[in-house]
Structure 1
Amino acid sequence: MNSSPSDLAQYPFTPKTFQTADGHQLSYLDEGDGPTVVMAHGNPSWSYLYRNVVTALKPKYRCLVPDHLGCGFSDKPQDYPYRLQNHIDNFTALLDSQGIERCVVVVHDWGGAIGMGWAGQHPERVAGLVVLNTAAFHSSRIPRRIAVCRWPLLGGLLVRGLNGFALPATFMAVNEKMRSEIKAGFLAPYDSWANRVAIHRFVQDIPLQPDHPSWKSLSRVESSLEQLRDKPMLICWGGGDFCFNDHFYAEWRQRFPAAQAHYFPEAGHYVLEEALPQVLEQLQPFLVSCHA
């Protein structure tokens, strides 16, 4: 990765680093002071997804935003397993290292399974949950354009060789054209075959069948959601998402009927890119109520 944080639009932050149990460097943002808000990104984004949320919240809150291993400014080891449980373990170790005893957890995309994987095992440390176009439960639904990226040989060529996952996300995850400097920010960590390793591994790690290595991990996450039913939850959903579509939105509402739910029909998968003011309008009072 040739870029530095200072090169990126709307990213006026200096990441910190944490060493995982297996010796890899995990990059994370730690901005602001006050009650803690932890944000978990998905694939193929990184902490850049939350840049404007951090800027808005840091005057009153401590914002902790890791780049999962293989993503953003974190190390990108080529022989790492990159399984769901690995990411949950790293997320847990980071929060423990920072002494996070109580926080609101914000999740998007794969961050749903990772963040909820931590939250369901530590409900006493959860002040509230914010759900943005994600899942933390089993589903057999997978768009064909993503399924192709899982095919042997062809998947690696598409995702790692041709950048056929991170690059298309800059126009498929939004419904309005992304500005060139923002597109460059999302793509900056993924500028080579080696640096796209985690993007491919995330796609391969979607557990669609019981014999998949991460099936049991996701089953544990799904089961642990029951521990969170009484927690305050805010759902902010982009209705134009081709992947996490209305089926997933309905699933969250069924599982958490008391949640505050807001649906933004014009926003895509990257809901924070196209409905940021509307999300912040709901998020800021929600955080006040969680930390009251």
Structure 2
Amino acid sequence: MDLPIGETQLVPVGDTAMNVWTAGDDGPTVLLVHGIPTNHRLWWDVVPAVAERARVLAVDMAGYGDSPAPDGQPVDLAAQAARLLDLLDALGLDRVVVVGHDLGGGVAQILATTASDRVAGLGVVDGVCYDAWPVPLVRAMKAGWPLVRQLPPSALGTALRPALRTLFAHQERAAPFLDRFVEPWERPDGPRLLSRHLRSLDSVYTQTVAPFLSRLTVPAEVVWGRQDHQMKPEHGQRLADDLPGARLTWVDDASHFVPADRPDVVAEAVLRLVDRA
């Protein structure tokens, strides 16, 4: 799939590599982190706007999209956060603005609270937090991970599409994003990888860092879809209340996939965070 701007590359990170979509040359660096079961293409319509004023890195976490998942190594939130720090080291980046959606929002919280010297600003878009996840849809998938593992790749794709479609408010925008999200899971190893991610989901990671959110001193932006019936709006409000000086943006006409439903609102929030940072 041709990108609207920039390019992707596999960046060596330790004994593995991470796929990174890079766009923009000037300004602060923004690291965009997706959730489950998406990839860097979640930010398809956000990156071009942000890249006009910043350098943007939209990453595939380990085992998602085009990033390999090293055998025998964990893929939970803490492990993903640690790999992102290794990625920053590999790219020679001291500090970045980190913005995460869904699982990526949890990863962003971990980075901000445990590696605060590397984070210049924190953005969370309908992100996992506290003990409020896995969300009902993913919880059901996690309970059936042995079945997921055994599905033919094409059958997994067939099952994912209607389930993920319910997470869009703007149905006319859903089709291309569904293709971008589902294609990696329709590859030969897709079912095994997805079942591995499902088994790793545990809210202990966001519960552990939650007491430290109120101590953060970096600028913060919280963006939440009012129609999100999975990570419900009450969690976005709580997160914004706990983050000192956080700006909360409600998106009335968006569900869970806010970067797809309303990329303009997300891009504006990211650029505000860049300016504040």
TM (normalized to structure 2)?
A: 0.86
| Higher mean C-alpha deviation, range 253-262 or range 199-208 | 199-208
SS of 1:15 mapped into structure 2: strand
Task: Report the CA distance between 1:204 and its aligned residue.
Answer: 2.2
Contact conserved, 1:136 with 1:221, CA < 8 A, in 2? no
Cα distance in 2, alignment partners of residues 96 and 117 from structure 1? 17
Letter in structure 1 aligned against 2:265: Q
For residues 162-181 of structure 1, what are the structure 2 equivalents within 5 Å? Answer: 162-163=156-157, 166-177=160-171, 178-181=173-176
Shift of 1:259: 1.2
Distance 1:117 1:164, change over 3 A: farther
Specify which of 195, 204, 208 is matched with residue 190 of structure 2: 195
Equivalent pairs, count? 273
Question: Which residue of the partner structure matches residue 55 of structure 2?
Answer: 62
Give the match for residue 212 of structure 1: none
Q: 1:248 to 1:202 in 2, by over 3 A?
A: farther
Q: Hey, what's the Cα distance between the residues in 2 that align with 1:159 and 1:268?
A: 29
| SS of equivalent to 1:173 | coil
> CA RMSD, aligned part only?
2.6
Instruction: Give the C-alpha shift of residue 224 in structure 1.
Output: 3.9
CA distances 1:135-154 after superposition (whole Å, capped 9, x unpaired) = 232236741x3322122533
Determine the structure 1 residue equivalent to 2:236. 249
- Tell me the alpha carbon deviations over residues 105-126 of structure 1, each in whole angstroms, 9 at most, x when there is no partner: 1111001221221221222332
Q: Counterparts of 1:280 and 1:25 in 2: how far apart (Å)? A: 27
Note the 1:231-246 alignment, pairs <5 A.
Answer: 231-246=218-233
* Counterparts of residues 203-214 of structure 1 (less than 5 Å): 203-207=198-202
**TM-superposed deviation, 1:42:** 0.6
In structure 2, the gaps of 5 or more residues are none
Counterpart of 2:65 in structure 1 is 72
Name which of structure 1's ranges 37-46 and 148-157 shifts more when overlaid on structure 2.
148-157
Give the deviation of 1:225 after TM superposition: 2.5
1:46-96 CA distances to partner (integer Å, 9 max, x unpaired)?
A: 111112222112232111221011111111456543222221121110012
Match of 1:130 among 123, 128, 132: 123
Letter in 1 for 2:170: E
Change in CA separation of 1:197 and 1:225 when aligned onto 2, cut-off 3 Å: farther
TM-score, length of structure 1 as denominator length: 0.82
2:267 alignment counterpart: 280
Q: 1:236 Cα shift? A: 1.2
What is the identity, as a one-letter code, of the residue corresponding to 1:188?
E
3-state secondary structure, aligned to 1:162: helix
Q: Distance in 1 between matches of 2:71 and 2:157?
A: 17
Distance 1:170 1:135, change over 3 A: closer
Alignment-derived partner of residue 4 in structure 1 = none
Instruction: Identify the match of residue 26 of structure 1 among 18, 21, 36.
Output: 18
Counterpart-to-counterpart distance in 1, 2:210 and 2:140 = 26
Q: What is the SS of the residue equivalent to 2:186?
A: coil
Task: Pick closer, same or farther for the CA change 1:274–1:139 going to 2, 3 Å.
Answer: closer
Shifted more, 128-137 versus 167-176: the winner is 167-176
Which of 213, 222, 227 lines up with 1:225 in the alignment?
213
Encode CA deviations 1:202-254: one digit per residue, 9 max, x unaligned. 3222225xxxxxx3x444433442442x2211111111112111231122123
Q: Which position in structure 2 is the counterpart of 1:48?
A: 41
Which protein is richer in helix relative to its size? 2
> 5+ residue gaps in structure 1?
1-6, 209-214
Q: Which moved more, 1:87-96 or 1:244-253?
A: 244-253
Decide which of 77, 89, 102 is 1:96's aligned counterpart: 89
* Shift in alpha-carbon separation, 1:165–1:124, aligned structure 2, 3 A: farther
CA contact (8 A) 1:111 1:134 kept: yes
The aligned amino acid for 1:194 is D
Bigger Cα displacement from structure 2, 167-176 vs 238-247: 167-176
What is the Cα deviation at residue 102 of structure 1? 2.2
